[in-house]
Amino acid sequence: MSAVKTRFPPSPTGHLHLGGARTALFNWLFARHHGGSFLLRFEDTDRERSKQEYVDSIKEALEWLELYWDEGPYFQTQRLDIYAEYARKLFEEGKAYYCECSPEVLEQKRKKAIAEGRKPKYDGTCREKGLGPGPGRVLRFKCPQVGTTVVEDLIRGPVAFDNQELDDFVLVRPDGIPTYQFAVVIDDLTMGITHVIRGDDHLSNTPKQILLFEALGATPPEYAHVPMILGPDGSRLSKRHGALSILAYRDEGYLPQAMRNYLVRLGWSYGDQEIFTLEEMIEKFDLSRVSKSPARFDPDKLLALNAHYIRQEDTERLAEMVLPFLAELGVKIENPHEEKFLKAVESVKPRARTLKEMAEMMKFYFVPEVEYEEKAAKKFLKAEILPVMEEILVALENMPTFEEKALEELFRGLAEKHQLKLKHVAQPVRVALTGRTVSPGLFEIMDILGKETVIKRLKKAIQYIKEQG
């Protein structure tokens, strides 16, 4: 077998979403597994909808996922001369013909076919007219009218198509722009693509493309059609299922390794293994393990996987990653390698599911003053706790060492003295220090905040209780 070469050919008419990202990942992994190469190509012949911002966004998403391409990016709009050359070859060899049927006439033919219960395909009016190029004319492929075209799909097995059911499809539009069916074949042929891994919504295109390869005297690549991704309810995946663009997931605080791991498991498996490093994916990826059934998107599973990767991540690296999310909350960190900041990251690391969530959990450490959640203040910053809070304040001011173990001993002693459960002493202090009822361990956060900040926030909470009466 010649060296494996795969491609990812998005249309730059929108951002990269889950389905496209999985296709890119499967192609990238297949190439890496076989020691081959991976090519990026933009199918940008839809000039009205194709935009540079989407080109940039797709490249940025692939780079974030660390799916670096070996060749490209190529752009179809920069290859029009190549398509024109192959179109001329097909026409001169009698394998394609010009058609002068107007869009209005074609629409009438389509409606008539449907009314008569026939498939609405082109009826071959111009097939034997011997027309040459001219204004308003399209170039059509002279599709075989007998026989069968078999797609030897690497996932589904052989799929047969009756050539009678296929259309004399358009290769080149009146403006000289090639159609998808034509451009993709010429690209795959001239770029030496050996394997095409794509969504099964393209399966119906494959017999046409195989016939084009054969008409050009070329061997088609091998094809693998991956079942689509469905929403949790079994319908086609869409935004209403919470599916975002890849960069939107990044901006919500997902890690690239979590996204890769989640995407690879959407339709591919290796025994019962759920967690894969990138190296393991490359080593184990094989098309024989791709499911024939559609995968279902589960946002909760993705979130849980992201939480796993946050817990596994190096704290210093995590500290760097959370900085922009803190900045969005108005928290500027001068030195992310400072001990206090690293301790703060470490304290929320086991609890956060995204970097955004991590930043929100950490914010209280670095703001000048905390704001109390209304329900938390109402429940815990009440007059009856005031004597205990004042006693805690005095005890803390007189503590010689401000460490977790000593703090816990102090709180347990005070709870016992006042015949209270520890939580009834700890929760009001937690609200005083964080503004919330949920946080990392109380003594851990007191240690990180430091004596001065803890005392300042306790004084403010005591004042607040007094003002509430």
- What is the structure's pLDDT at 142? 97
Q: What is the pTM of this model?
A: 0.92
Q: Encode pLDDT of 130-151 as tens digits.
A: 999 999 999 999 999 999 999 9
* pLDDT classification of 424: cutoffs 50, 70, 90: very high
Average pLDDT in the chain: 95
- What is the structure's pLDDT at 118? 86
- What is the structure's pLDDT at 455? 97
- What is the structure's pLDDT at 236? 82
- What is the structure's pLDDT at 232? 87
- What is the structure's pLDDT at 349? 97
Residue 1 identity (one-letter amino acid): M
Q: What span, in angstroms and rounded, lies between the C-alpha atoms of 32 and 38?
A: 8
Per the annotation, does 101 bind a ligand? yes
Across residues 436-459, what is the average pLDDT? 96
Question: Residue 445's Cα: distance from chain center in Å?
Answer: 34
Backbone angles phi, psi at 134, to 5 degrees: -175, 170
* pLDDT classification of 238: cutoffs 50, 70, 90: confident
Residues in the chain: 469
Which segments of the chain belong to CATH 3.40.50.620? Answer: 5-73+230-299, 79-226
* pLDDT classification of 243: cutoffs 50, 70, 90: confident
Select the CATH number that applies to the domain covering 374-468 from these four: 1.10.10.350, 3.40.50.2300, 2.160.10.10, 2.40.50.140. Answer: 1.10.10.350
- Above 60 in pLDDT, residue 362? yes
Count how many Cα atoms sit within 13 Å of the Cα of residue 328 in the half-sphere of its side chain.
14
Q: What span, in angstroms and rounded, lies between the C-alpha atoms of 336 and 121?
A: 64
Active site residue 423: no
Across residues 224-253, what is the average pLDDT? 88
- Above 90 in pLDDT, residue 113? no
Which segments of the chain belong to CATH 1.10.8.70? Answer: 314-366
Of the candidates 112, 119, 129, 239, the residue annotated as catalytic is 239
Range from 152-156, 344-348, 418-422 carrying the lowest mean pLDDT: 418-422
Q: What is the 8-class DSSP label of residue 40?
A: E
Angle at 251 between CA 247 and CA 253, to 5 degrees: 120
Residue 74 and residue 39 in contact, taking contact as beta carbons nearer than 8 Å: yes
Per the annotation, does 126 bind a ligand? yes
* CATH tag, 79-226: 3.40.50.620
Per the annotation, does 143 bind a ligand? no
**What is the three-class DSSP state of 224?**
strand
| DSSP string covering 194-253 | -EEEEEGGGGGGHHHHHHHHHHTT-PPPEEEEEPPEEPTTSSBP-GGGT---HHHHHHHT
Across residues 50-72, what is the average pLDDT? 97
Q: Encode pLDDT of 167-197 as tens digits.
A: 999 999 999 999 999 999 999 999 999 999 9
CATH architecture of 5-73+230-299: 3-Layer(aba) Sandwich (3.40)
- Above 70 in pLDDT, residue 82? yes
- Above 60 in pLDDT, residue 226? yes
* CATH tag, 314-366: 1.10.8.70
Q: What span, in angstroms and rounded, lies between the C-alpha atoms of 457 and 469?
A: 19
- Above 70 in pLDDT, residue 1? no
